[in-house]
Amino acid sequence: MTDPGDLAYMPASEALARFRDRSLSPVELMTAVIERAEAVESKVNALAERTFEEALAAARAAEARYAGKGEAPRALEGLAVATKEEQPIAGRSATDGSLAFRDEIAEETHPVVDRVQAAGGIVHARTTTPEFSCAAFTQSRLWGVTRNPWNPEFSPGGSSGGAGAALAAGETTLATGSDIGGSIRIPASFTGTVGYKPPYGRVPAMAPFNLDTYCHDGPMARSVADVALLQNVIAGPHPLDAVSLRPKFTLPERFEGVEGMRVALSVTLGDWPVDPDVEANTRAVAGALRAAGAIVEEVEVPIRRADVMEAANIHFGSIFGPYVTSVAAEHGDLLTGYALEFARTTAEAASAPGSIMRGLEIEARIQATLGLLLDRYDVLLCPTTAIPALKADDDYLSTKVVINGVELDSYIEAAMTTVFNIASRCPVLSVPSGLASNGVPTGVQVVGRTYDDTSVFRVATAIEAVRPWSTRPSL
């Protein structure tokens, strides 16, 4: 009999195969996931809402489908899927991690969640975020501090930190996230999981932020194949999202090898200072790809992090920041210090005369730089974050991040992700690259040409094959 602890970490693809041949029941798997969550949640605090009884009932219904009773099993039939609380579900809480909205109830369901449920996925839990999903760590006055299962002294990242932590801790099989500056990829890197920022428009979102080109909803899991499985469910046009792409693009079930593929390696992505452990693990991944037959060449990428931060702050100060400011005007005493600081700094960046045009000019230069690079290479390989992790209990309002003797102006500069929200049509997968000396995982980003999802998954699949990763921390 399979150990319940092992069941909780079973890949989704394997679970579906075993559901089909009746060697495993969805009830058994859901029970194992719930038991695991109940055992570790006091240490991790990744779940904002639990619906375990409803989930078990849905698992019993899925079991009946696999037994031939009623309609045929669907793409995610019987799998536990933890959805980000930011993605609303009609009739359930819609707090966005804020005390200001602690009594809010959603009136509609996010397209991503709707598609998960329509495909037979069982939303047994919803995951924590920082307030308004505006930080690269996960803590809030509403839910407290979410901790990294690999080392609870550190954060699982943000803003989809609860999703990353839940996956790493075995509290779910699949998870959903969203990414406006790295919010899927940062947690994936910090927790040793896999996270995908699809190209803009690939996955439908909700108005009005669906019109923000930095915004993406996407899948998270413990393997590349499981991310592809979930991506194929949530992708495709939606009648309420005018920028969602048609026709639907479906990833193949299997990916070719990387023999002959051209990979550009950039450890610093321009002028980012990078922690030695992160650099060593990134170079190890590059070496493994070479051994797998890829042509890996180290390149210079003339992008300045100061330009990335300026463009991003102008962008956020034009759209996202004013939204937080409007909430603060009515509920300022309930908001976290980091949310108020986010609103202040982004508003300041966007208030200068001509700032919008300056931001667009910077973005255009960055996109052109990456476009020319990716015209010569199939993918770009670089770290996901410049440091292994952030501290769980710090809000970084006064603490400075120092890397190799370089003090960053803002802690968020340690993320090497926002470049690809600017270049939002580029697909990006974050996959594990190794462990740092503090026991926390590190990750690399595989960045593709605009809308070339398949090449990104090919390279990520090869990385996973040549550098197998232990997805189970010793909680």
Give yes or no: residues 387 and 336 share one domain: no
Give yes or no: residues 368 and 317 share one domain: no
Checking if the pLDDT of 471 tops 80, the result is: no
132-143 residue pLDDT tens: 999 999 999 999
The domain that holds 145 is classified in CATH as 3.90.1300.10
pLDDT of residue 4: 63
Q: Which of 62-76, 266-280, 314-328, 367-381 has the lowest mean pLDDT?
A: 314-328
Give yes or no: residues 56 and 171 share one domain: yes
* Helix residue ranges per DSSP H, 119-259: 161-169, 185-191, 224-234
Residues making up the chain, counted from first to last = 475
CB atoms within 10 A of CB 128: 31
Domain boundary among 292, 327, 351: 351
pLDDT of residue 402: 98
Beta bridge partners of 148: 151
Residue type, 45: N
Residue 198 located in a structural domain: yes
Give yes or no: residues 335 and 361 share one domain: no
Task: Choose among 235, 297, 221, 246: nearest CA to 460.
Answer: 221
Give yes or no: residues 330 and 400 share one domain: no
Give yes or no: residues 173 and 190 share one domain: yes
Give yes or no: residues 329 and 415 share one domain: no
61-87 residue pLDDT tens: 999 999 999 999 999 999 999 999 999
Residue 471 located in a structural domain: no
How many folded domains does the chain comprise? 2
Residue 149 located in a structural domain: yes
Residue 475 located in a structural domain: no
Residue 180 located in a structural domain: yes
Q: How confident is the model at residue 146 (pLDDT cuts 50, 70, 90)?
A: very high
404-413 residue pLDDT tens: 999 999 999 9
Q: What is the mean pLDDT of the chain?
A: 97
218-232 residue pLDDT tens: 999 999 999 999 999
Give yes or no: residues 220 and 361 share one domain: yes
CB atoms within 10 A of CB 99: 17
Q: What is the mean pLDDT of residues 153-181?
A: 98
Burial profile 441-455: b = 16 or more Cβ within 10 angstroms, e = fewer = bbbbbbbbbebbbbb
Q: How confident is the model at residue 1 (pLDDT cuts 50, 70, 90)?
A: very low
pLDDT of residue 145: 98
190-206 residue pLDDT tens: 999 999 999 999 999 99
Task: Choose among 122, 53, 134, 37: nearest CA to 86.
Answer: 134
Residue 199 located in a structural domain: yes
Half-sphere exposure of 428 (CA within 13 A, CB side): 38
Give yes or no: residues 105 and 160 share one domain: yes
pLDDT of residue 2: 57
**Cα–Cα distance for residue pair 406/412, rounded to 1 Å:** 14
341-358 residue pLDDT tens: 999 999 999 999 999 999
9-57 residue pLDDT tens: 999 999 999 999 999 999 999 999 999 999 999 999 999 999 999 999 9
pLDDT of residue 8: 97
Residue 473 located in a structural domain: no
Is residue 75 within 8 A of residue 118, CB to CB? The reply is no
Q: How confident is the model at residue 320 (pLDDT cuts 50, 70, 90)?
A: confident
User: Residue 206 is encoded by which pair of tokens?
Assistant: 């909700």
**Cα–Cα distance for residue pair 318/347, rounded to 1 Å:** 7
Residue 243 located in a structural domain: yes
Strands of 206-363, DSSP E: 216-221, 262-265, 295-298
Enter the pTM of the model: 0.98
Q: What is the mean pLDDT of residues 304-314?
A: 97
pLDDT of residue 470: 81
**Cα–Cα distance for residue pair 158/109, rounded to 1 Å:** 22
Give yes or no: residues 339 and 408 share one domain: no
- Cβ neighbors of 134 (< 8 A, separation 6 or more) are 159, 320, 324, 338, 339, 342
Domain boundary among 351, 370, 403: 351
Give yes or no: residues 377 and 283 share one domain: yes
User: Residue 214 is encoded by which pair of tokens?
Assistant: 């930095």
Q: What is the mean pLDDT of residues 277-291?
A: 98
**Cα–Cα distance for residue pair 18/11, rounded to 1 Å:** 11
Print the domain residue range for 334. 309-351
User: Residue 76 is encoded by which pair of tokens?
Assistant: 């995610």
Task: Choose among 60, 19, 66, 51: nearest CA to 172.
Answer: 51
Q: Could you write out the DSSP letters of every residue in 215-227?
A: -EEEEEESSHHHH
Give yes or no: residues 379 and 336 share one domain: no
User: Residue 296 is encoded by which pair of tokens?
Assistant: 């890996």
**Cα–Cα distance for residue pair 216/474, rounded to 1 Å:** 32
Domain boundary among 351, 381, 404: 351
**Cα–Cα distance for residue pair 51/336, rounded to 1 Å:** 27
